[in-house]
Structure 1
Amino acid sequence: MKALVLSSSPRRNGNSALLAKACAEGLAEAGHEAEFVHADDVLAGFLRDCRQCRKPDGECAIEDGFRDAFFESYLPAEGFIAATPIYWYGSSAQLKAFFDRTFCYYAASYPNSAPVIDGMIGKRVGLLVSSEETFPMVSGAVICQFQEYCRYTRSTFVGVVHGYGNARGDVARDPNDPLKAARRFGREFFTRHATDYQIDTERPGRVWG
């Protein structure tokens, strides 16, 4: 299986980036293909007004690496794992921009949107978060956004690994050992039990047989 691991922190050696690298290592240890991408390497701008911005052939006119990352890395992958620090109780601007920019290609105004939509549906999705603050709901807004993204794209939200730290590398000193947890998360990413029940979902009386 293939997973795209997106590190969205502007700090290339920051705490969420360390979580992302540990997760990618875990994926590789389990025999999966893990592609590691820094969001800053592929994003040079935010979403614009597509009605004004599109080229005559319908392509996005923003000249950066997002299109290649989206078509060659994100869409073919069975899994997507994003790493972000908590900024103002939300994700990094880079991660939000990555999601926003997908609109250019699944919108009806893009002439080949149907296969893009097919490629966005049904992934396994994971989240890696770092924050200085340990308040239990400090990551609540980001988690909620990921849950809604998974609902919208009929994807499976596998889970979250949260590490605490401020200075670069602090997360390695977190006594809960989130780097170990992120590596294990990567190893188990494609097999970890994950459910999202609706009221009429048929389910057994026990989670573990």
Structure 2
Amino acid sequence: MLILVGSPRRNGNSATLAEAVAQGAREAGQTPRIAFIDDYITSFLRDCRKCRKDDGECSIEDRFRELFFEAFLPAEAVVFCTPIYWYGVSAQTKAFFDRTFCYYAASYPNSGEVVTRMQGKRIGLVLASEETYPGASLGIIHQIQEYSRYTNSDFVGVVRGIGNSRGEVTSDPCKPLAEAEALGREILGRKFSDYHIDTPRAGRVWPAGN
């Protein structure tokens, strides 16, 4: 499991929720990795047609390639933890998604392998915001939903914690830390369904007696 934190705060609400996800994963016998995106990314995506190296590699000199190839691509499950900034993900989180283009674009020599390895993951989303307004998170949820569909991945859960000052999310009466721990414990096995009109399905969601 990879837990990507899109907040610049190392002890903020997103980080607190990320650690709760990791704790749940450890309880399930996993070895989660927490990575703060801004430790790896120092630049936004540029025009690959102009700045790509002759061997096809990205010319931006930061650690994104390390994060993408050594942590993201091998992960079975990825949880994106981001604060809500202007009703969207943080700039760090958006930059992560944008920078993946450099390696799945056809102009990268090994793009076919990258595309294959980007697919089939279990995806979770953990949000921190100071607003309780339900609509504040809808744009982000939709973005991750469409990313998951685009990559043939399973978007299995969303957790949202309310808080502003550092660590205040622990006071949220809806107990988002417990939800985050549950997401970490269950992400690899949690039931996922995304029905289409022609999807074969039984008359029950859960087995009788549950």
Give the structure 1 partner of residue 89 of structure 2: 91
Question: Structure 1 residue runs of 4+, over 6 Å off?
Answer: none
TM-score w.r.t. length of structure 1: 0.98
Give the structure 2 partner of residue 61 of structure 1: 59
Paired residue type of 1:31: G
Q: How many residues align?
A: 207
Q: Bigger CA drift: 99-108 or 11-20? A: 11-20
Alpha-carbon distance in 1 for matches of 2:110, 2:188: 29
Give the structure 2 partner of residue 50 of structure 1: 48
Deviations 1:25-64 (A, max 9, x none): 1111101121110011011110000001101111000011
Give the structure 1 partner of residue 119 of structure 2: 121
Paired residue type of 2:33: E
Give the structure 1 partner of residue 197 of structure 2: 199
Picking from 151, 154, 158, the partner of 1:153 is 151
Give the structure 2 partner of residue 17 of structure 1: 15
Match of 2:2, SS state, is: strand
Deviations 1:75-96 (A, max 9, x none): 0111110100000000000000
Give the structure 1 partner of residue 104 of structure 2: 106
RMSD: 0.7
Alpha-carbon distance in 2 for matches of 1:150, 1:75: 14
Unaligned runs of 5+ in 1: none
Alpha-carbon distance in 1 for matches of 2:202, 2:30: 30
Identity between Structure 1 and Structure 2 (%): 61
Match of 2:4, SS state, is: strand
Paired residue type of 2:31: E
